Amino acid sequence: MVFLILFFNSTLSYGEEQLSDDDLLIEGDTLENTLDRKLKASGNAVLKKAGKTIKADLIEYDQVSDELYAIGNIHIKGNGGSLTGSSIELSIKENTGSIPNATFSSTLNKSNSSFNNKLRGSAKMLFLEGEGKKRLQNASITTCEAGQDDWFIKASEIEINDSSQTVNAKDAKLEFKGVPILYSPLVNFSFNDDRKSGFLAPSVGTTSRSGFESSIPYYFNLSPTSDATLTPRYLGKRGFQMQGEYRYLDKNYSGTSNLEFMNKDKSSDRKNRYYGKFHHHQSITNNITGGFRMEKVSDDNYFSDMSSLISATSTINLPQEAYLNYTSEKLDVNFIAQRYQNLTTTSSPYERLPSISMNHSDDHENLDGFVSYETDLSMSLTKFERNHNFVASSTDKNISGTRFISRPSIAVPFEKSYGYIKPKFTMNIMNYELDGGPIGSKSITVPTLSLDSGLHFDKKLTLAGKSFVQTLEPRFFYSYTPYKNQESLPMFDTALTDLNAESLFIENQFVGGDRVMDSNQFTIAATTRFLDGTGYERLNATLAQRFYLSDRKVLKEAQFLNSNSAAQSDSSDLFLTATGYISKALRVDSAIQYNPDEEITNRATLRTRYSPQPGKLLDASYRLIRGLTTNNDDIKQINLAGQWPLGGGWSSIGRYNYDIKKSSAVESLGGFEYDGGCWASRIVLNRLSLATTEKANYTLFMQIELGGLGSLGSSNDANLFDVLNRNVPGASFASGIPDQYRKENLN
């Protein structure tokens, strides 16, 4: 072993010497060597060995046992951490020892963020128990920066493993701003993404329908491929509810199971209220997959009573289905059997018991590669049935039966750099075997011929002293389909497509398989773009209109007459869409649907979005949808939404959706977030419209996020983020904003 002993009476400049783990450096105002074994440094003593630098008033080191004793202003650095104390007894080789009245700091293996990347604390007694392992007695820990003591976990004993980034604490309490807010006899958590069994952060909050809410989830890390969460939940106006979730993931399969149960609801006197959801997906071979999805609820009002998320409260049909799919490069085959639990008797989709569909597409070239063509063949065979809970209206035929449809097509595209032309021929084949209607069976075959074409022009120009490239892209689309009477056929899964700038270029204005629109029509459109010198698109505008050369007789069916007053016009509305980027931060969108015959705007959307940096967002929009029958059906709404930092760590978020026609708010949200660096708090009030009742639900979200530990409060991060992002798309929590902008708001 090589020993390097240097005698200095001045401060040592660390980092200049390159020492191996076997080298030793020691210095002090005075140095003593006893029997060539024990070294003693007094006054500004420093010892450096095995990647550690130890400072103290007095250091005694035994070269044979590799043990050290030091006293007075102990300061140890090494392996990304530091320790201080009044004295230390240490085995350097084993990294075992004890430090009374200790403080420590260690680096966490987290992202590049400068926030919450260190764990620090203090202890009456600190024991080193091997490399990267510490045991603390009468201790406290936090991820706050030195000098910021906003929150601590205090415990009688804390074990810290720096390698696995895990912490175990006994008799622990969480103090925030000096106030105890949580106690647990045993706490274990990690500062990395590794899963670990234990209690998750509790949740508290309130809603107008259920009152005060609280829940304490317990997480089970069952195996590397599965886990579970059990959550007791208390609702002040209703009682206790138990929630459970089981998840599994493997190379060939995955799935989730969720179950919620309440023995008795005090608010409604209902017993055995429950919700179950079971999903499973299986990869059988490289080409074959299958699975099932089952959802069931005890009563129609379950979601509106129990949930605060619109994704749940707006649910009116719960699927119960099994499927099997085959997928290859050119062929897709799908089998599904599907039923529903309907939470309303006025709306119900047909159930598919079962349905099998196939689609085959291919591109073909001749030997010379001069002429190519595309073929597509889609077919489906489906048995449709009504749900037994559905109450048919006087106009509903309530027919069930089996439907076979096939749509073979062939297209021959010709493409050049300056444009393209693509003729296409499609045959629409439908066959029905029906029950409950005036006909038992019927077959219909309807051909369709279409032609899609477009050109591309561009030129350079200068505007306001800047160079741009402007493109002009005219497009012409024509389709012809002869009329076939289909009035006796049911509407199993079919609806009239909303006419817009995209649907102007499709042959059939129906989605689903029960109707084929007769057509002799063409669409003319033109798009222009302005690109700056960097290739960035500053403006994109499209003007389009469809013209009808003959009436569409299918729309004369009684079910379409009331909803299509302009169905027999010679032309469609005029569609204008434009998107402009005034700057990379400011975007303006507009979409206008104008009827030139009646000189009236049927639809309009105007939107301005300003987002100069993450965490700064302003969004204002106006939406007009004119009613198809009377002015009472008009929709005129303005929407204001945004998120903006206020300084001093504060930021605001809000949304206000106002119906001008009804002079009332449709939905609103408002809240504030405070960023304390090592913690953040949020309070958000959301007014939520419900699908199964006219009475809105008010939800108050309150949450405290402690750096590295997770969040405490109402809901979890995922649920609250769902609420914020749905109301203010693009919004971010403070912890999700890049450090550069986050620090600006802290000042």
Terminal Cα distance for the chain, rounded: 54
Beta bridge partners of 438: none
pLDDT digits (tens, 9 = 90+) for 196-207: 787 777 777 777
Structure tokens, 291: 């699975």
Output the CA torsion sign for 15, 19, 21, 22: negative
Angstrom distance (rounded) from CA 352 to CA 337: 6
Query: Is pLDDT at 691 greater than 60 in this prediction?
Result: no
Contact (CB, 8 A) for 574 and 543: yes
Identify the band that residue 570 occupies on the pLDDT scale cut at 50, 70 and 90. confident
DSSP symbol at 571: B
Angstrom distance (rounded) from CA 451 to CA 117: 61
Distance of CA 313 to the CA centre of its chain: 18
Contact (CB, 8 A) for 45 and 56: yes
Identify the band that residue 281 occupies on the pLDDT scale cut at 50, 70 and 90. very high
Structure tokens, 338: 């599907």
**Residue in 616, 608, 573 with CA at minimum distance from that of residue 590:** 608
> Helix, strand, or coil here: 497?
coil
Predicted local distance difference test score (pLDDT) of residue 336:
96
> Which residues, 6+ apart, have CB-to-CB distance to 16 below 8 Å?
none
> Helix, strand, or coil here: 719?
helix
Helices assigned H by DSSP within 422-519: none
Q: State mean pLDDT over 262-285.
A: 90
DSSP percent split of the chain into helix, strand, coil, nearest 5: 5, 60, 35
Predicted local distance difference test score (pLDDT) of residue 98:
93
Lowest-confidence segment of 233-247, 292-306, 402-416 by average pLDDT: 292-306
pLDDT digits (tens, 9 = 90+) for 514-548: 999 999 999 999 999 999 988 889 999 999 999 99
What are the angstrom distances between the C-alpha of 485 and each of 292, 397, 442? 38, 17, 11
Angstrom distance (rounded) from CA 533 to CA 262: 63
pLDDT digits (tens, 9 = 90+) for 469-483: 999 999 999 999 999
Predicted local distance difference test score (pLDDT) of residue 45:
93
Predicted local distance difference test score (pLDDT) of residue 10:
31
Q: State mean pLDDT over 126-148.
A: 90
Lowest-confidence segment of 294-303, 352-361, 621-630 by average pLDDT: 621-630
- Burial classification of residue 158, based on how many CB atoms lie within 10 Å of its CB (0-12 exposed, 13-18 middle, 19 or more buried): buried
Sketch out the chain's domains with CATH numbers: 24-196 (2.60.450.10)
Contact (CB, 8 A) for 353 and 339: yes
Contact (CB, 8 A) for 375 and 420: no
Distance of CA 248 to the CA centre of its chain: 20
Predicted local distance difference test score (pLDDT) of residue 371:
65
Structure tokens, 662: 């009804």
CA dihedral 614, 619, 625, 631 (to 10 degrees): 150
The whole model's pTM is what? 0.78
Structure tokens, 491: 């509407």
Identify the band that residue 710 occupies on the pLDDT scale cut at 50, 70 and 90. confident
Q: State mean pLDDT over 360-367.
A: 80
Q: State mean pLDDT over 671-691.
A: 84
Please state whether beta strands 635-647 and 616-625 pair in parallel, antiparallel, or not at all (unpaired): antiparallel
Query: Which H or E run contains 461?
Result: strand 457-463
**Residue in 119, 150, 151 with CA at minimum distance from that of residue 136:** 119
Backbone angles phi and psi of 726, in degrees to 5: -70, -35
What are the angstrom distances between the C-alpha of 315 and each of 389, 443, 479? 16, 36, 38
Contact (CB, 8 A) for 529 and 535: no
Query: Is pLDDT at 396 greater than 60 in this prediction?
Result: no
Beta bridge partners of 638: 622, 658
Identify the band that residue 236 occupies on the pLDDT scale cut at 50, 70 and 90. confident
Structure tokens, 544: 């389009």
